[in-house]
């Protein structure tokens, strides 16, 4: 399949998916299309009303008249009544035929039938001569005064006034339908985009955690906001212009065929030109728009990254380098925007002008040719209606062509949104499972993020209520074990069971329902202290929130705040100290009452004075739960039931603190590095002051995450 075929196929798939979203507001869309159709019909009635007025009333004065005895709808001239031939009732007696013909600005009364009325007219000495290429005819004629001309027009006035009323009614209908169509189209578009944006955000919630390791947050945000907004333009501007344009052009062509079949057929030349031009335009526009949307995502990503890392940028004086990187992206974005601008400038209005000029050439050629051969010359009303209809047709064409840029940008954006939605998400399973006991067992587990295994034949067992500590150098696999436990990833080999049941048999949402985690750098959301504990979960009451905060001792560090536990928290909790944030995260874990608790070195960033409070909170947290601790400070895991020493993805030692110290292996060496050669023989109380001094500058062989 060629690239063009792939593009067509992709766009066809995107169009189908967009159509399915449009069906969510199909009632409103249908109402808008109905209003659009009514409005187009009302608007296109104008040329037909004008044609009727011109041919049947304004120029109708030149139709044959007959002498009559009735004064109804007749004209009194020289003591006799005359009525237009088409106004006689069936069977009504008709007298002598007469004609009223115009020459220049004057009208002439001819007291006999006129055989030839088409051709060049001359008046001289009471005779009106009508000449064409092959023959000439002369008739006696009397010049009419202004009052006499008005007398012949007087029977036409009721019909003219009626047509004017119809025109005004059509105008009012058109105005009402334009408002209704615009309102309903935009209302439907807003509803569709609301549904699309909700679905995108919901799908992001289902995406596996590892997906966000490869896609910057700014790019994800760009797809949820900028790209969906561009898709909105498709439904609001593009759909409105193209749907109204298609209906309008269809109506114009129906009107043209009703006027004259040959005129309608000749005018069809506009359609293939418009289609060809659109295909050529999109060939270049799509290429530019793909780059433009990509650069916009990258700009959002670098802005997001710069804001998140502003302290580091300032400290290491990277403002200039960051600005140069941003300016390079911005420059490339502007360059491709200018290419799109040039393309639009060359195609949009130029296309309409070319088509309009070609249509006028067609008019001149068609009417000129028919005039030269002297046959079938159309009426002035038909000519006026044709010119009016062709002029009206270029209004929607202009609207459609001007929306080509938005159409292409919307298709590209929709493709980016659907690509995100096509990413495989985690299956969502409704319901829940009873709180499990928390007996965890790894059996010969091996795992690789890509090709190389980061965990090799890991086997251990953690029983309910036990504390298991994971220690090892950076990259040894500590965090990988936790990722597998949470099922952010699944192992390639071996099994992981909880209470004897393989975790792969448990829906991820059910599994995580009874797990909690306290991170080294806890994340707080915008809201209040209390809302950051409950995370908006209706199952957790305010009383439970307050009790959890008090149980971990948070009332000592947070009680002095003006609004207490209702104190506002901004994103990431930057107005709170590290100890305060950590206690809130402890309370959060306690409030959710997990069966399995993971502590990612919860005291690493805490000062010594606060650490005592944190350690007390930890004991409250660990009570009755299976706890996994990623340990950097070895002093925090002396009381652990099981310590796993990891090295290059393997468990090289395991046991209690005392057992490992007696073994004098890798754990013993790490402990000696942190606390000195005599620390193993000292009671913990004697080492406390020394630990506070040395841990800040220790060689963190156990630090970091895999």
Task: List, for residues 364-407, the tens digit of each pLDDT value.
Answer: 676 655 554 444 455 666 777 777 777 777 777 777 777 777 77
Q: How far apart are CA 222 and CA 416, in angstroms?
A: 10
Pairing of strands 626-630, 596-600: parallel
Per-residue pLDDT of 207-247, as tens digits, reads 887 787 777 777 788 788 888 888 887 777 777 777 777 87
Which of the four pLDDT bands, split at 50, 70 and 90, describes residue 202?
Answer: confident
Give exposure, 248-285, as e/b (b: 16+ Cβ within 10 Å): bbebbbebbeebbeebbeebeebeeebeebbeebbebb
- 681 pLDDT more than 60: no
Domain annotation for the chain: domains and CATH numbers: 16-51+161-421 (1.20.1560.10), 63-152 (no CATH), 433-514+595-660 (3.40.50.300), 522-593 (3.40.50.300)
Cα 85 to Cα 610: distance, rounded to the nearest angstrom: 110
Q: Which residues are bridge partners to 523 per DSSP?
A: none
Q: Where are the alpha helices (DSSP H) in 623-696?
A: 657-663, 666-675, 684-694
Q: Of 528, 523, 524, nearest to 568 (Cα)?
A: 528
* Burial class of residue 407 in the structure, from the number of CB atoms within 10 Å of its CB (0-12 exposed, 13-18 middle, 19+ buried): buried
What percentage of the chain has pLDDT greater than the value 90? 14
Q: Per residue in 462-493, pLDDT tens?
A: 999 899 999 988 889 998 999 999 998 899 99
Q: Nearest 5°: phi and psi at 66?
A: -130, 145
Q: Residue 247, exposed/middle/buried by CB under 10 A (0-12, 13-18, 19+)?
A: middle
* pLDDT at position 704 over 80: no
Please choose, from the candidates 596, 589, 591, 657, the residue with its C-alpha nearest in 3D space to the C-alpha of residue 627: 596
CA–CA separation, 558 and 244 (whole Å): 62
For residue 518, give the nearest of 374, 630, 658 by alpha carbon.
630
366 versus 441: which is more confidently predicted? 441
Cross-strand bridge partners of residue 569 = 527
Q: Which tokens in the block code for residue 119?
A: 């051709």
Distance CA 597, CA 629 (A): 8
- 89-119: pLDDT as tens digits: 877 888 888 998 888 888 989 898 888 777 7
Report pTM.
Answer: 0.63
Task: Tell me the CA distances in angstroms from 413 to 233, 285, 422, one per residue in order.
Answer: 10, 13, 14
Instruction: Provide, rounded to the nearest whole percent, the portion of the chain with pLDDT above 70.
Output: 89
Residue with tokens 């080999």: 493
In angstroms, rounded to a whole number, what is the distance separating the alpha carbons of residues 383 and 380?
A: 5
Q: What's the mean pLDDT in 679-692?
A: 42
* Helical packing angle, 319-373 and 270-308, nearest 10°: 170
DSSP codes of every residue in 254-297: HHHHHH-HHHHHHHTTHHHHHHHHHHHHHHHHHHHHHHHHHHHH
pLDDT in tens, 642-663: 999 999 999 999 999 999 999 9
The separation between CA 640 and the C-alpha centre of its own chain, rounded to angstroms, equals 52
Q: Write phi, then psi, for 2 (nearest 5 degrees).
A: -80, 170
3-state SS, residue 452: coil
């Amino acid at each position: 399949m060629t690239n063009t075929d792939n593009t067509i196929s992709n766009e066809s798939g995107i169009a189908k998916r967009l159509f399915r979203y449009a069906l969510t507001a199909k009632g409103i869309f249908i109402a808008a299309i109905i209003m659009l159709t009514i409005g187009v019909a009302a608007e296109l009635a104008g040329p037909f009303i004008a044609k009727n007025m011109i041919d049947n009333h304004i120029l109708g004065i030149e139709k044959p008249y007959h002498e009559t005895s009735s004064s109804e709808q007749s004209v009194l001239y020289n003591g006799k009544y005359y009525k237009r031939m088409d106004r006689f009732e069936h069977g009504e007696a008709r007298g002598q035929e007469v004609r009223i013909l115009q020459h220049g600005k004057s009208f002439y009364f001819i007291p006999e039938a006129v055989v030839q009325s088409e051709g060049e007219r001359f008046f001289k000495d009471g005779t009106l001569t009508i000449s064409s290429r092959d023959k000439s005819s002369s008739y006696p004629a009397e010049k009419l005064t202004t009052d006499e001309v008005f007398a012949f027009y007087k029977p036409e006035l009721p019909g003219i006034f009626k047509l004017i009323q119809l025109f005004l009614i059509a105008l009012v209908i058109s105005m009402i339908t334009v408002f209704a169509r615009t309102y309903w189209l935009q209302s439907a578009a807003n509803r569709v985009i609301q549904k699309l944006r909700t679905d995108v955000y919901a799908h992001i919630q289902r995406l596996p955690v590892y997906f966000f390791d490869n896609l910057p947050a700014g790019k994800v945000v760009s797809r949820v906001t900028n790209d969906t907004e561009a898709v909105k333009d498709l439904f609001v501007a593009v759909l409105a212009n193209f749907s109204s344009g298609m209906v309008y052009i269809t109506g114009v062509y129906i009107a043209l065929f009703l006027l004259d079949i040959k005129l309608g057929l000749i005018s069809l030349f506009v359609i293939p030109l418009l289609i060809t031009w659109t295909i050529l335009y999109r060939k270049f526009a799509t290429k530019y728009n793909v780059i433009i949307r990509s650069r916009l995502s990258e700009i959002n990503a670098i802005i997001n990254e710069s804001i998140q890392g502003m302290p580091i940028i300032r400290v290491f004086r990277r403002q200039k380098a960051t600005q140069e990187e941003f300016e390079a992206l911005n420059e490339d974005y502007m360059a491709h925007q200018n290419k799109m601008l040039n393309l639009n400038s060359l195609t949009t209005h130029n296309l309409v002008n070319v088509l309009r000029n070609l249509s006028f050439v067609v008019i001149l050629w068609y009417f000129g040719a028919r005039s030269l051969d002297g046959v079938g010359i159309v009426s002035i009303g038909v000519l006026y209606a044709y010119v009016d209809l062709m002029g009206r047709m270029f209004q929607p064409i202009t609207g459609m062509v001007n929306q080509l840029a938005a159409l292409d940008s919307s298709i590209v954006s929709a493709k980016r949104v659907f690509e995100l939605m096509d990413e495989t998400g985690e299956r969502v399973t409704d319901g829940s499972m009873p709180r499990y006991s928390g007996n965890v067992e790894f059996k010969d587990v091996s795992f690789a993020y890509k090709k190389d295994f980061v965990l090799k034949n890991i086997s251990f067992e953690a029983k309910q209520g036990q504390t298991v500590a994971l220690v090892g150098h950076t990259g040894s696999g500590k965090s990988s074990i936790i990722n597998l436990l949470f099922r952010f990833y699944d192992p390639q080999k071996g099994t992981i069971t909880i209470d004897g049941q393989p975790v792969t048999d448990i829906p991820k949402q059910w599994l995580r329902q009874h797990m909690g985690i306290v991170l080294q750098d806890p994340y707080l959301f915008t809201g209040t202290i209390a809302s950051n504990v409950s995370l908006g979960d209706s199952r957790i009451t305010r009383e439970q929130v307050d009790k959890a905060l008090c149980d971990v001792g948070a009332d000592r560090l947070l009680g002095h705040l003006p609004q207490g536990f209702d104190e506002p928290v901004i994103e990431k909790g930057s107005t709170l100290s590290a100890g305060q944030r950590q206690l809130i995260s402890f309370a959060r874990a306690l409030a959710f009452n997990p069966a399995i608790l993971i502590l990612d070195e919860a005291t690493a960033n805490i000062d010594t004075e606060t650490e005592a409070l944190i350690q007390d909170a930890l004991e409250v947290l660990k009570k009755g739960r299976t706890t996994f601790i990623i340990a950097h400070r070895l002093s925090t895991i002396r009381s652990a039931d099981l310590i796993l020493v990891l090295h290059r993805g393997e468990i090289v030692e395991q046991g209690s603190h005392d057992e490992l110290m007696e073994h004098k292996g890798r754990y013993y060496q790490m402990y000696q590095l942190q606390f000195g050669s005599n620390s193993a023989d000292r009671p913990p109380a004697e080492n406390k002051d020394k630990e506070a001094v040395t841990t800040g500058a220790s060689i963190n062989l156990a630090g970091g995450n895999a």
